[in-house]
Chain A
């Protein structure tokens, strides 16, 4: 059992999958340059020394090309792990992800598999509006993509391994403030959870959520950083006699709907917390699902805490206003009683 950051856990997951399966390779910008920094957040640092530059493939700055090459390589028998430096750049490759990767199996009547992984860092971290978005809802809306969002080192490694072994395109959304990257790539204001990661092979199955804290009065659902905000809020709420259950779905598609529904049937209250902005968002969809399928168990309106419908602002004071927080969660939960 080792204590690893998420960046380290992802790196070990990639290393083990590449050792296990010669079909696995990585491609992306600045991921394996000798003397470089191992990708924007150090996840692939050192891997080109071990596996060489063919299997840790540095690409031109060509996001459409990166996605397309990953798709084609996957269709022809390899297992690519592609990455973008910032999730925002997924927009550059939108056709490849939404029209090609997501639809290839369907368009082939189920005969063509696209076993590719696309890793993308998300989250507002004071880089301005084009390096800060949370794009999960854009992609949860596209049928044919599986989507995971690990918030712990254990899940990061286990979900990455499950994604590599899956026969479908899997997007991994990683949060910049959770990596725990060191040195020049470390992040100000990072949470950087360090967690126990087994030495032996394991996966975290895609599609299985987890209860991070058990409770009886309210269900709080979060992902990535908002899981930690929810846990901090639950700790505070306990002092006021409110017992909050915190759920981390870990996989966004396919969603572990039953885990959330059974929790809400028990608590009668639901708050979903996301860093994404509100309209057409991920949280709204979970609220709708609960309203459709567990309405008669509810004791209060379903609530979401989302960013406002603005681009992510830069100035720290505005960013703090924009982002969810434990304090906002506490206020919202208390309003339900």
Chain B
């Protein structure tokens, strides 16, 4: 991990912290009734999106899931635009048409996130097919959960990606639960990545709570696909340190299990590593914390000051013009 440049490490720290504070603020705004929808928060999984996307370019694509705020922030969607979308404003990244489960911004390579579990996997193959046909050495990252691993769409997509050697990195965020259902009760395999062999595809596993481990695994996977070697299935073992949605009382997990994962949560872990390595002081980290807080404040203020769409704007954008 020493070979990762310090600016990259710092950017990953800042992005993970931005996701965490953004999500916490979203939760507050939801409780205040200022975000009029449910939210699937990314708290605890920050290292996955950030560690993967730190290896991507603007012209690479990312396909998100129903839990997409972290994917969007990691790929570079402006937090002002995401917050405005969540608060149903006209300045939102989808002009208030889509809400939390579909945030994205095609200008930075993230189309609207796909709220249907597993529905993004075949689309990722199509985007990667286009990248390949256009002679670009770009890649497409498809995030999906352990629950989506059992969708037929994912099976069809992985097979197609493999036979056509498409530059897709399927990133499985195995957070151990599909909503409340434990992964172990819906798969006989310990690892989702073990399925890679069935598609003739490369499979990898990374500690999803360690952004350095995710970064290194993703670096390997992305450069492998960029060189035209075909897809990779990268499984990141992670944990959601919050409920599935805002109505989830979290009564299906033990406090002991939660404590175990909280102990190794990725942001604190990288911060401690910085200090131990002598790269940053706790005062430096506090300054980053302050700056992130200001950025979130700015995003909320921007959303607050933005107008709502007109009711009849509902009729626009059914077709592309």
Chain A residues engaging chain B, CB cutoff 8 angstroms: 25, 54, 59-60, 62, 64-65, 67-78, 80, 95-96, 99-100, 104-115, 143-144, 146, 167-168
Contacts and interface: CB of A to CB of B under 8 A. Distances in A.
Interface of B: 61, 92-98, 102, 104-107, 111-112, 114, 116, 119, 121-131, 133-134, 140, 152-153, 156-157, 159-160, 163, 316-321
Contact of A64 (B96, B107, B124, B153): B153
Nearest to A116: B126
Given A68-B121, A70-B126, A108-B106, A100 B114 contact: yes
B124 A113 contact: no
A100 B111 contact: no
Contact of A73 (B95, B114, B116, B130): B130
Contacts of A74: 126
Nearest to B309: A109
The 10 nearest A-B residue pairs measured at CB: A68-B122, A72-B126, A76-B130, A109-B95, A65-B156, A110-B317, A62-B156, A107-B112, A72-B123, A73-B126
Given A73-B130, A107-B112, A113 B95 contact: no
Contacts of B93: 109
Contact of B61 (A67, A69, A76): A76
A87 B69 CA distance: 37
A317 B320 CA distance: 46
B122 A108 contact: no
A70 B123 CA distance: 8
B111 A104 contact: yes
Contact of B126 (A76, A95, A111): A76
Given A78-B129, A78-B133, A69 B318 contact: no
Given A65-B156, A68-B153, A73 B102 contact: no
Contacts of A65: 122, 125, 153, 156-157, 159-160
Contacts of A78: 129-130, 133-134
Contact of B127 (A60, A76, A105, A113): A76
B159 A73 contact: no
Given A62-B156, A69-B122, A109 B130 contact: no
Given A60-B156, A168-B319, A108 B121 contact: no
B128 A64 contact: no
Given A64-B153, A109-B92, A110-B95, A71 B126 contact: yes
A30 to B, nearest CB: 15
